[in-house]
Amino acid sequence: MYGVILAGGSGTRFWPTSREQSPKQLQNIVGSGTMLQNTVQRLLPLISIKNFYLATNHQQAVETLRQLNSYGFSPDHLIAEPCNRNTALAIGLMSKVIINKDPDAIMAVFPADHVVTNSENFIKILKKAETLAQKGYLITLGIPPTRPDTGFGYLQQGSEIEDGAYKVEQFVEKPGLPKAEQYLQHGKYFWNSGIFVWKVSTILEELQSYAQNIYSQLDTIASSTQNAKGRYAYLELDETGNKIFSSLPSLSIDYAVMENSSRVVLLPANIGWNDVGTWSSLDDVSEKDPKGNVINGNVLAQDCNNSIIQGQKRLIAVLGLEDIIVVDSPDALLVCTKERSQEVKNLVESLNKNDHLEGKQPSIVKKPWGSYTILDSGPSHLLKRIEVFPGEALSLQSHQHRSEHWTVISGSAEVIRNNETFQLKSTDCVTIPKNTKHRLGNTGSELLIVIEVQFGNLLDEDDISRYEDRYGRI
């Protein structure tokens, strides 16, 4: 079986932990590991890591590879889409890529940012789905609802096809509360999980039947894939591929295929599934203290009940809270009521409208070579903590409006400054004047940490001329 992970989350509902540039699946929201890592981890008993494929965007590609590196995920199994065109196109493209290697392949599709607490049952059901897929069915996993949720689409169970597998009577859009309550009572409605299993040839046939405009371009797009420029060998599309991809309609696989096909089969899946859609959903998937609080980080809580307090290093003291959510991050803080946690995404929209960078940009800015964090700023200086991964290096660059002063905290730095190249270690420092070609690299085997002080009257990420770059950013 092949596993296809769709990792296209937008990062607004778990703000400030997630940001547009650092979405939910790449964060540790529940337990240990990021949601993406947990998604792969729980499937490894069934799907070999070499059979995993993943679709995401350019911005997340390198961080995604880093998170999956230790599992042995193959970089060229990641496709960086030029833009988000929803699941129909992503699944279609992945199907083409996989069928070109294995015409009989069966593939399972998984969102990257859901929780499944009963992995054992999950694997059992996926195996059953595999058997059904062999017979030409499109299997969709339906989750028995545990509350009248109005945030999901529902699948109505139809007649039994074989033991425990059903036709879908109808697909229901997100219902209002009265309907959702009926569905919960009724017992034959299931949440649409977005987890699918099918033969690759089957889904392609159905795309051909019901989404001809998408299907007709898949060959061209698939053959336009190429290795990304630079050190990271994920796949991207060439210019033609990007153009076609971007011109296609944004359709969900449910809308494009599942609601139309007669080959759809519903497998009820009691697997402890949760889409972790809002901060308040941590209530369902996290460990609680005796007063019903979900607390992480450096927190002192007195007389709080049923609250969610997500701290980090900074001290948070909370007193007398009831059904309140507090999420702290180095550069932004969220405090809201649980019942309003659905609206956090609107809050982020407001932030973006009001030019609050914190709406999109995380406090730790990930780069292909590592990351930087702004620690202090003033009218003519900016202080950064820079981390460079072993073997990586920033581009050979210069700045028109700023000089930089680096102090090495730990690790081994190789610094190029004009025609000099020198090695720096902990406690060493160097100054890079304006308009000077320079490069910072990590030649050691440990993380390189550098404190950078920028001086100048215009301190802007865009003030950069790149002469050489390992990651194709010229």
Cβ-based neighbours of 27, under 8 Å, separated by 6 or more: 14, 17, 18, 34, 35
Residue 376, interface with its own copies (CB under 8 A)?
A: yes
Cα separation of the two ends of the chain: 39
Question: What are the strands, taking DSSP E only, across 36-128?
Answer: 52-57, 78-81, 106-111, 115-116
Residue 409, interface with its own copies (CB under 8 A)?
A: yes
Give min distance, CB of 283 to its own copies, in A: 17
Question: Which of residues 134, 246, 247, 380 is near its own copies by CB under 8 A?
Answer: 380
Give min distance, CB of 255 to its own copies, in A: 31
DSSP type of residue 322: B
Burial pattern 292-329, b for ≥16 Cβ within 10 A else e, equals ebbbbeebebeebebbbbbbeeeebebeebebbbbbbb
Residue 453, interface with its own copies (CB under 8 A)?
A: yes
Q: Which stretch binds its own copies (CB under 8 A): 178-186, 198-206, 240-248, 310-318?
A: 310-318
Q: Which stretch binds its own copies (CB under 8 A): 117-125, 233-241, 284-292, 314-322?
A: 314-322
Q: State the CB neighbour count (10 A cutoff) for residue 86.
A: 18
Backbone CA torsion sign across 129, 115, 36, 367? positive
Backbone CA torsion sign across 368, 369, 371, 377? negative
**Separation between Cα atoms, residue 119 and residue 113, nearest integer Å:** 15
Give min distance, CB of 463 to its own copies, in A: 17
Cβ-based burial of 457 (10 A; exposed 0-12, middle 13-18, buried ≥19)? exposed
How many CA atoms lie less than 13 Å away from 102 in the CB half-sphere?
A: 12
Residue 458, interface with its own copies (CB under 8 A)?
A: no
Quick check: helix, strand or coil at residue 408?
Answer: strand
> 131 or 410: whose CB is closer to its own copies?
410
Residue 248 CA from chain centroid, whole number? 23
Give min distance, CB of 461 to its own copies, in A: 19
Q: Which stretch binds its own copies (CB under 8 A): 207-215, 227-235, 402-410, 415-423?
A: 402-410
Residue 421, interface with its own copies (CB under 8 A)?
A: no
Binding letters toward its own copies, positions 147-166, x by CB under 8 A: --------------------
Give min distance, CB of 17 to its own copies, in A: 13
DSSP type of residue 59: H
Cβ proximity of 172 and 300 under 8 Å:
no
Binding letters toward its own copies, positions 321-340, x by CB under 8 A: xx-x-x-x--xxxxxxx-xx
Report residue 400 as tokens: 């028109």
Report residue 134 as tokens: 């062999």
Residue 287, interface with its own copies (CB under 8 A)?
A: no
> 240 or 431: whose CB is closer to its own copies?
431
* Residues between 246 and 285 that touch its own copies (CB under 8 A): none
**Separation between Cα atoms, residue 9 and residue 35, nearest integer Å:** 11
Report residue 350 as tokens: 């407001």
Report residue 186 as tokens: 């009724």
Question: Which of residues 179, 385, 401, 417 is near its own copies by CB under 8 A?
Answer: 385
Report the candidate in 425, 407, 424 with the shortest Cα–Cα distance to residue 415: 424
* Alpha-helix residue ranges (DSSP H) falling in 3-76: 35-41, 58-69
> 248 or 334: whose CB is closer to its own copies?
334
Binding letters toward its own copies, positions 5-24, x by CB under 8 A: ----------xx--------
How many CA atoms lie less than 13 Å away from 389 in the CB half-sphere?
A: 11
Give min distance, CB of 90 to its own copies, in A: 31
Question: Which of residues 177, 233, 375, 474 is near its own copies by CB under 8 A?
Answer: 375
Q: Which stretch binds its own copies (CB under 8 A): 118-126, 256-264, 381-389, 415-423?
A: 381-389
Binding letters toward its own copies, positions 339-368, x by CB under 8 A: xx--xx-xx--xx--x-x-x----------
Give min distance, CB of 332 to its own copies, in A: 4
Question: Which of residues 146, 213, 250, 431 is near its own copies by CB under 8 A?
Answer: 431
Give min distance, CB of 319 to its own copies, in A: 4
Residue 438 identity:
H
Tokens 């809201």 identify what position? 336
Residue 448, interface with its own copies (CB under 8 A)?
A: no
Question: Which of residues 32, 302, 419, 445 is near its own copies by CB under 8 A?
Answer: 302
**Binding site residues, its own copies, CB under 8 A:** 15-16, 300, 302-303, 311, 314-322, 324, 326, 328, 331-337, 339-340, 343-344, 346-347, 350-351, 354, 356, 358, 375-376, 378, 380-381, 383, 385, 403, 405, 407, 409-410, 426-427, 429, 431, 449, 451, 453, 455
